[in-house]
Amino acid sequence: MEGNDARRANLDHWEALANYHGHGDDAYYDLDLLRSGGTLMGVEELAAIELATHGVGLAGRFVLHLQCHIGCDSISLARMGANVTSVDFSKSALDRLDVLAAECGVSVTTIEADATALPATLDGRFDLVYASVGVLCWIEDIDAWMGCVARVLRPGGSLVLVELHPVVTMFESVEPLVADFPYCFDGPRTYSGTGTYANRDADIAWTTVQYAHSLGEVVTAAYRAGIVCTHLIEHTSGSFNTGQFDGPEDDDRYRLRLGVGAERDGVREPACPLPVLFTLVGVSAAAAVPPPTSA
Amino acid sequence: MIVPIGRLVRGDWETLRAVRLEALADAPYAFGSTHAEEATLDDAAWELRITEQAWFVALDAFGPIGVASGGQLRDPDPGVRTLRSMWVHESFRGRSVAEALLGEVAAWARGDGAVTLTLWATRDAARARAFYAKAGFIATGEVREMDPARPVEMARYELTL
């Protein structure tokens, strides 16, 4: 599947997820915690915002939350004092966010749009663009995505992208070890299954089309779009199950360990962990680097 | 240029205070002054600094991430201006922000009739000294101590404008 058919399949899936998530049946979306003032942001996202704002914080700033789904992090961004605009291609997700924002007593502007086709009315308006976990695999044209980010940022504005590391997304499972997703871009890949990433047992059947983007492709796209990377951090542990693990380690963190480590004094050490997440923080350059002319 | 650079004008004392105190806290080894000394300065003292020197700041969307100034404070020679207070936030080092700030100060100095830009770099500011050498500054060989209370060796550099 490709093109409009792929988009339609993915939209159907995300509409279903928007209606399913956050009703107490999944591991990720604890909306009661959010309603009672807590945040569902991970330490990686909070640290990235700290880096992007060099400690100044988001009070009074204009923030665009891309591919916001039901908008849990939009609520947290608004609570940091930001004027938040949230974009998703799923109408149901934005409806959920509108209700959630009202319940949480914060104001969030919602816009239904593809992340690669943002309306021109958003151009140059934002101090920060925020996108978190599980966003890029739905995007075919990574240059278009970064181009949109660069367009909506004002000069000197920042991108905060916290994303699944392309190493971990290669693996469908660790036991048995199944590598079923390319590391680099390899065109559209169609997958079918049941459940959601937040509850594998959910009664949801799906067919989706996803796209791999290597770390190099992401950084290169940012550079081409005129976003200068100030931080690229690879995390070898995460606070949530990226889907491959039976459970967290003793410190409540999830790690991707393939094979085994060295044997020392008769004791077999665990394998050194591979990256599971990455953080990209970049600033929109005052004078963008011109994109290479396409052949 | 990675981020816009602007010159501070009267009324901008809060921006100057914020970036200067951040610089002093971040790199206490690099300046001829301390955070403790400058944290007590009042509004009028910061405003006076803006009028005494030409201050340039590099700004991203969240505020200043670099600063530099040019002035004629201790130079009796009318053809000489002094570059002072250069600082770039750690996240932005190696990104040509210092080059851009230096360019603004040099342009200001030329416009002010100077033919030479000079500076004093502390012994411990190794990265800064390497940057100045790369930017065309020549060490004059003059060395002095910062002041009797802070026996830190400083070396003078000069750039022909």
Which H/E stretch holds residue A158? strand A153-164
Of A127, A228, A287, the CB nearest to B61: A127
B89 touches chain A (CB under 8 A): yes
SS3 A241: coil
Between helix A72-79 and helix A91-104 the angle, nearest 10°, is 40
Question: Is A258 found in the same domain as A220?
Answer: no
Count of A-B CB contacts under 8 Å: 49
* A51/B91 touch (CB, cutoff 8 Å), yes or no: yes
Is residue A279 in some structural domain?
no
Within this chain, do residues A185 and A127 fall inside the same structural domain, yes or no? Answer: yes
CATH code of A15's domain? 3.40.50.150
Residue A45 sits at φ, ψ, to 5 deg, of: -65, -45
Q: Do A109 and A247 sit in the same domain of this protein?
A: no
Shared domain for A208 and A241, answered yes or no, is: no
Range of the domain at A67: 3-29+43-235
Mutate to test the interface with A, among B1, B2, B21, B67 (most CBs of A within 10 A): B2
Name the pTM for this structure: 0.90
- Is B111 an 8 Å CB contact of chain A? no
Q: How far apart are CA A86 and CA A111, in angstroms?
A: 6
Average pLDDT, chain A: 94
Q: What are phi and psi of A16, to 5 degrees?
A: -65, -40
The residues with which A130 forms a beta bridge, in sequence order, are A65, A160
DSSP states of A17-77 as a string?
HHHHTTSSSSSS--HHHHHTT-----HHHHHHHHHHTTT---TT-EEEETT-TT-HHHHHH
Whether residues A210 and A71 fall in one domain: yes
Residues A98, A224 within the same domain? yes
Q: Which domains does chain B have, with CATH numbers?
A: 5-160 (3.40.630.30)
Q: Is-cis flag, bond preceding A176, omega within 30?
A: yes
Residues A149 and A221 in one domain: yes
pLDDT at A294 over 50: no
**Closest CA–CA distance from residue B93 to any residue of chain A (Å):** 9
Across B94-108, average pLDDT? 94
Number of structural domains in chain A: 2
pLDDT in tens, A129-184: 999 999 999 999 999 999 999 999 999 999 999 999 999 999 999 999 999 999 99
Q: Does A226 share its domain with A252?
A: no
Say if residue A183 is in the same domain as residue A250.
no
Contact A127 B92 (CB under 8 A): no
DSSP letter for each residue of A159-228 = EEEEEE-HHHHTEEETTTTEE-S-SS--S-EEEEEESBTTBTTSS-EEEEEE----HHHHHHHHHHTTEE
β-strand pairing of A83-88 with A62-65: parallel
Residues A137/A84, Cβ–Cβ less than 8 Å: no
Is A117 domain-assigned?
yes
- Mean pLDDT of the region A58-87: 98
Which phi and psi angles does B13 have, rounded to 5°? -60, -30
As a whole number of Å, the end-to-end CA separation of chain A is 26
Q: Same domain for A146 and A258?
A: no
- Both A225 and A254 in a single domain? no
Q: Cα–Cα distance between A8 and B39 in angstroms, integer?
A: 59
Query: What would the pLDDT profile of A255-284 be if each residue is shown by its tens digit?
Result: 999 999 999 999 999 999 999 999 999 999
A61 touches chain B (CB under 8 A): yes
Q: Looking at the structure, do residues A263 and A219 belong to the same domain, yes or no? A: no
Considering only the beta carbons, identify the residue of B61, B89, B95 that sits closest to A156: B61
